[in-house]
Structure 1
């Protein structure tokens, strides 16, 4: 008797600077996708059929992930039991060395589960560094991990007021990339959370004596348009710099035209992190079987 493949949900993180994005690319490019490395590592586990990672959330060149997700089907040779979650995590991480990609966890899920379409929400964090008069003042450990906007302090109060206009369900056509591949699709999206918060922790506190402040823009929604988060953050920073009023954000929304977005205002990729992808426990639990967690 031949058993079918086992399906797993895998959470993974990566430092995005050295990749073309998360999605698979042709292997002869100077930069390739994180997916290329994930599938190369998986093939070294000697499955009996090729392995394909179905990624939950696309991220672009230079964007990082604290926890992205994918589902994967693994067929082992006849007579071999499916990998346990721990075996899969350890095996993949062993073959991913020395890439800055790490498998965080894995668990068996039903064959009907889909990492992209079953996601309830996605949360992004954008890191801003305030107090740098010149890019040379960015701490060496923070290069490629934040954005230090030029032009002095930001008006956080005005940015928070502007963020309020982006909350809720809107047509975000103005905040969609001019080069979006899916311009015929609806641009209506729902932003569940949009907050500006001072960064916490020992590392953030370490820079206070240099008058450097880290702030985080936290954005949560079920799904986002191509480059929507970076365009929203860039517009909020422009408000903080006094380039236009908070009410201008509402006006941009009402225009529903990506050509109306202020030129050169999109936030760079380096400060953006996919923080988490959330799922319903009902979608994750295999019927009649215990969940396996790493």
Structure 2
């Protein structure tokens, strides 16, 4: 059975998350339903990570084993036809070895969170960014973010229902940049690690927003981290500003120039 890797782009708004659910729409369920139109049997796809309800992706990665030997471009085109009109697209496809796994072969995940500050409501980006009406101090947020880098017990910044065996993770990058936005500013939080805990990125951003607003000091972030207590975390920000940007592999199946 040939194995295929997909790079998936989706708007998470209509879905209850990536993972298939019996009574709610999911991204996994949509792709598996499209696959069943091509090969009429039950398919189970594995993903690099399970995004929550409302979270988007530019570069989610999944794989599936099929009966037929497909030309990857034709497979992606056929899936995109059957995915319409859902906001899900297969933007790349490659045949991979039987040992390659979307989740276990990955060495890093990159997320981006988009936060817009302006007095007026957002219109074109409604549902795609977290909108706050007050200004934020970029330097203060960067100082707070610096205290989260490295290997730590991130109990404070993970959901109480997180199923990970250990709260210890290594945060490789948390870069915050400011960009021009009509009558306001867009702040982008670029986060990179091998793996993340449930709600970890949204907990980071919600806490750092409080630093930018002046309610917390940068040192308060370090104190919260050391507390190793979920109650010490700042507010968890909404999901609709979060994007799974990309997944890293030593042998990237989508590096067609290699």
- TM above 0.5, one fold? yes
1:277 alignment counterpart: 247
Which has the larger displacement, 159-168 or 137-146?
137-146
**Post-superposition CA distance 1:19-39 (Å, at most 9, x none):** 00011110x33xx11011000
Q: Quick one: distance in 1 between partners of 2:178 and 2:256?
A: 36
* Contact kept in structure 2, 1:19 and 1:61, CA below 8 Å: yes
Q: Quick one: distance in 2 between partners of 1:178 and 1:19?
A: 22
- Of Structure 1 and Structure 2, the greater strand share is in 2
The alpha carbon displacement at 1:234 in A equals: 0.5
Q: Quick one: distance in 2 between partners of 1:39 and 1:95?
A: 10
Q: Quick one: distance in 2 between partners of 1:105 and 1:190?
A: 29
* Contact kept in structure 1, 2:122 and 2:131, CA below 8 Å: no
Which structure is larger by alpha-carbon Rg, 1 or 2? 1
1:224 equivalent to 2:196? Answer yes
**Post-superposition CA distance 1:65-110 (Å, at most 9, x none):** 011000110013xxxxx00111111110010011000001111111
TM-score by length of structure 2 reads: 0.95
Q: Quick one: distance in 2 between partners of 1:292 and 1:172?
A: 37
1:62 alignment counterpart: 54
The alpha carbon displacement at 1:52 in A equals: 1.2
The alpha carbon displacement at 1:149 in A equals: 2.2
Calculate the aligned-residue CA RMSD, in Å. 1.7
**Post-superposition CA distance 1:102-148 (Å, at most 9, x none):** 0011111110111011111111111011122xxxx223211111112
1:193 equivalent to 2:173? Answer yes
Q: Quick one: distance in 2 between partners of 1:214 and 1:244?
A: 20
**Equivalent of 1:233 in 199, 205, 226:** 205
> What is the SS of the residue equivalent to 2:175?
strand
1:166 alignment counterpart: 148
1:143 alignment counterpart: 126
Q: Quick one: distance in 2 between partners of 1:66 and 1:175?
A: 24
Question: Following superposition, which runs of at least 4 residues in structure 1 exceed 4 angstroms of deviation?
Answer: none
Q: Quick one: distance in 1 between partners of 2:80 and 2:215?
A: 46
1:41 equivalent to 2:67? Answer no
2:63 alignment counterpart: 71
